[in-house]
Amino acid sequence: MKEQQVPTSQKRILRLLLLIAIVFVALLALLLILQLTESALSIWQILDQLSPALLVLYAIGLFGFALLVSILSWLLLRPARRKPVDQGSRDLLPENRDALSEALQQADAKGVDTAEARQELQELDQRAAQLTFYVAFFGAVSAGKSALIKAITEAEEIEVDPRAGTTRQVAHYHYTDGEDVDLQLTDAPGILDPNPEHGRIAREEARRAHLVIYVCDGELTRDQYLELLELQAHERPLILALNKQDRFSEEELKAISTRISERVPEIEVIPVQAGGKEEVTRIDASGREWRELRDREARIEGLMSAIVLRITRERERLETQRDESLVRLGAEKLHLATQAHRQQQGEKLVRQYTGKAMMGAMAAISPGTDILIQGYLGVQMVKALTSLYEVKAREVDVEHFIDLASQNVGKRMTLLLALTGNVLKAFPGVGTVTGGLIHAVAYGLIFEGLGKAVVKTLHESGTLKTVQALDYFEEALSGNLESRAKHFARLAVEEYRKRE
């Protein structure tokens, strides 16, 4: 009974103390409220006795004090500004012809393959020197794109088949009326072509043209709508040629055109009849049926008038847009070539430093000479990679990154050494494996993973992001270790046998 009474009495004491504390705080709060009320009433009485001029000055001073406190609070609590990205940490695409030409020369000096980018510069110069107006034709399979070009140019070599699409590569056809109109018509494969290379070529042709004609033969399908949206994104003027108009009445053509304009605004819709051939069924007097192809009458006057109108009214603006588009296309190709060159050279540097780390590990006399812990080779490798990607990384930042990477390695070093020892047992003739040989394989895994993590981070983000690189490094130390260890073990054993 006494054991139960002790806890009960303690609880009562605690409740009493809590009640006293609540009463004390309540009284203190009441006194504070009364004091503030008294002060407010006193101030109000003083203000009531002031002249209007002094009252205005007091209000201005009070407002100024509140504004000053607000400004200071904002300066202290505002979110920190992001530091501007260093020019060396990202590639700025050239914005005009001269800048692209200079960038190509610099890339050539670094060993970058600039052939494709230089071809766009040559294409720009060639087209700028001509008076030819370039028109690119796109359209879904069997919409009549090739037949429409044939109707305009009257070229006999264009392959036209009503049963399926026939355009599998880019073809150019020339048209002139002998006076003011000089056209180069491009028959391009679809942007959504199943062959990715065809799609890439088609997109580039759209960007090189002054004007884009999209051919369809009725209501837009989902794929046609997506293709039109992508063509619009290239900022090329668009005309939609609504083909096979003989299949629709005037009311139906108007309704289809209205619906297309609502779905894809800012596109001029012009009904056309591309001509070409159509497959019809014949029945003779005996009831025998057969199929044959017959010619369709072409009606393209409205489309040709729209093209001529664009040439007459907007040629200067369209040429400026075309030139800017070609510069951007060349700049993008140069950027891709530069990235490919850097990645290739980065992998080469990683292999070189991995080899140095393995050789250094085999020559190590004691565990105190571990390379990654010292950090020298790791720092040098990261510096070489950041220099390759033209990223300015301070030495202290690189050393800090290597220290963090070393901490990750320290947690896994026992596992790596054990794995290496097991892998080396599979190589006959090595005998008692030395500590240097084990460390060589382990450091091969470490340096390869670290180097590839840095290259991947630089390639994706254009700068050395520590957290991102360490995440990739962690992945490298976690996956596919055994097969990689066998590769480095083979290299280490070969070097070991040479020395023996």
Q: What would the pLDDT profile of 263-294 be if each residue is shown by its tens digit?
A: 888 888 999 888 766 666 777 777 777 777 76
CATH number of 130-299: 3.40.50.300
In sequence order, which residues have a C-beta less than 8 Å from that of residue 168 and are 6 or more positions away?
Answer: 189, 198
Tally of residues, the chain: 500
pLDDT (mean) for 435-440: 75
| Average pLDDT of span 235-263 | 86
pLDDT digits (tens, 9 = 90+) for 173-201: 998 887 778 899 998 888 887 888 888 88
Tell me: pLDDT of 371 over 70.
no
Q: What is the pLDDT of residue 276?
A: 63
Q: Distance between CA 228 and CA 367 in Å, rounded?
A: 65
Share of the chain above pLDDT 70, in %: 84
pTM listed for this prediction: 0.69
Least confident stretch, 51-60, 147-156, 161-170, 212-221: 161-170
**How many other CB atoms are found less than 10 A from the CB of residue 104?**
21
- Give residue-wise pLDDT tens across range 341-368: 999 999 999 999 988 888 877 765 444 4
Q: Where does the pLDDT of residue 6 fall: very low under 50, low under 70, confident under 90, or very high at 90 and above? A: very low
Place 2 in a pLDDT band, splitting at 50, 70 and 90. Answer: very low
β strands within 374-494, DSSP E: none
pLDDT digit string, tens, across residues 81-140: 444 334 343 457 788 889 999 999 999 999 999 999 999 999 888 888 888 999 999 987
Which range among 33-37, 262-266, 386-390 has the greatest average pLDDT? 386-390
Q: What is the DSSP letter of 89?
A: G
Can you tell me the mean pLDDT for 311-316?
88
Mean pLDDT of the chain: 80
d(CA 134, CA 6): 100
Alpha helices in 364-394 (DSSP H): 371-374, 376-388
The answer to which of 121-125, 166-170, 481-485, 496-500 has the lowest mean pLDDT is 166-170
Task: List CB contacts of 435: < 8 A, sequence separation 6 or more.
Answer: none
Give the burial class of 325: count Cβ atoms within 10 A of its Cβ; 0-12 exposed, 13-18 middle, 19 or more buried: buried
Domain boundaries, the chain: 38-77, 130-299, 336-499
Answer whether residue 28 shows pLDDT above 50: yes
Contact of 136 with 165, CB cutoff 8 Å: no
Give the integer Cα–Cα distance in Å for 186 and 9: 98
Q: Which two tokens stand for residue 109?
A: 């000096």
Q: Which region, left, alpha or beta, applies to residue 306 given φ > 0 means left and ψ of -120 to 50 means alpha?
A: alpha
H-run or E-run covering 269: strand 268-271
pLDDT at 414: 72
Residue 71 class from Cβ within 10 Å (0-12 exposed, 13-18 middle, 19+ buried)?
exposed
Q: Which two tokens stand for residue 152?
A: 């305009």
How high is the pLDDT of residue 367?
46
DSSP string, 294-346: EE---B-HHHHHHHHHHHHHHHHHHHHHHHHHHHHHHHHHHHHHHHHHHHHHH
